[in-house]
Amino acid sequence: MWDRILDRMLRDLFVIGAVEITYPDGTTRRYGEEGAEPVRVTMTDPSLPRKLVLNTEIALGEAYMDGRLSVAQDDVEGLLALAVQNSNRKQKVLWREIGQTARRARRRFDQWNPAYKARQNVAHHYDLSGELYDLFLDADRQYSCAYFADPEMSLEAAQEAKKHHIAGKLLLEPGMEVFEIGCGWGGMALTLARDYGVKVLGVTLSEEQHKIATERAAAAGLSDRVRFELRDYRSVTGQFDRIVSIGMFEHVGVPHYREYFETVHDRLKDDGVALIHTIGRSTPPGATSPWITKYIFPGGYVPALSEMAAAVEKAGLYPTDIEVWRLHYAETLRHWFDRFVANEDKARALYDERFCRMWRYYLKACEVTFRHHGQCVFQYQMTRRQEAVPLTRDYLYPADRPRRMAAE
């Protein structure tokens, strides 16, 4: 029975491209366009058709992790891209509508992140072995979208470009005080202190990140200008000249958006500038993949611009610049995936084969969403007064910048 239901679901879904499925009983069926080269998938678990019918995204990811589902040449990217391209079609499919409605209905519950729960969610992902992140991140451990001003840039160069692009939007002056919400392993704060002469308070809920960031500040001789604290951003008091947050807003949760931006407003001086860098969606508000919620980012959610804008308005902040990065994160993830695969034996020694398959699936699934499913990055600059930033964006692109970057 479950084979027949799954067969009907796949016939409804696949119109673009083709997929060839070998079922647990050995039967092979083809779905999609005639003549198209198919992505070939093999299922070995007799219970998998039932699980795919009842909870497709969880079942697909778990089956790949466990090895109960395999893709020829391990072409996970091809399979996921095909599934996403077909799911993007405007034609409504009943079983997909039911699943999406259920996910949207429970998203406020999934994203309820008071301080104690936020700490648990952060630990789930960021307190993994520090050695794991060394296997695929750049040396500065930038775990957010790089900025490929030149498509041929290395990952290291693109991450440096990202940091300095953000610094430009902050309009920094020596001696300013900066509050970083979600400091990661400290790379941005150390760059701002070293290259721009400011003082930085960075906060994180990850014990591993706090430990490494503090050690890095000491090793760089910047402990007098950079302070990292293990605390929730909502508990910080005082006011700052600048606020920056990179790759943290995805963990806030929709129920806390107004609280987040009210905190930004209250911590910002009257003439201050804030820059929020976050993954976003070009589509209307939605819900997080249940597989991502369970295995990668519990409590996480990628916002629509309309959701951010509504919260910014209610907090009394003035939007002074919004920049959208489209394929930069897809390229970043491609670099991360290639580096992870090249070091997979080391990752397997840290964890196990199932973890490595999970991580490959995670990195490729995320890349596919940026290439084919409307995800992007928002850089949202905001102030308490509209006069706090220059009238035009020319300050970001000084005339000597191409020559200076070429010389570097």
Which DSSP symbol is given to 261? H
Which DSSP symbol is given to 386? G
Measured CA to CA, the distance from residue 320 to residue 339 in angstroms comes to 37
Residue 307's DSSP bridge partners are none
Enzyme catalytic residues: 366
Query: Which of these, 118, 275, 132, lies nearest to 206 by C-alpha position?
Result: 118
Cα dihedral across residues 343, 344, 347, 348: positive or negative: negative
Measured CA to CA, the distance from residue 222 to residue 124 in angstroms comes to 29
| Token pair of 241 as six digits | 């000249």
Burial class (CB in 10 A: 0-12, 13-18, 19+), 404: exposed
Which DSSP symbol is given to 144? S
Whose tokens are 């239901």? That residue is 5
80, 88 Cβ separation under 8 angstroms? no
Measured CA to CA, the distance from residue 362 to residue 92 in angstroms comes to 27
80, 365 Cβ separation under 8 angstroms? yes
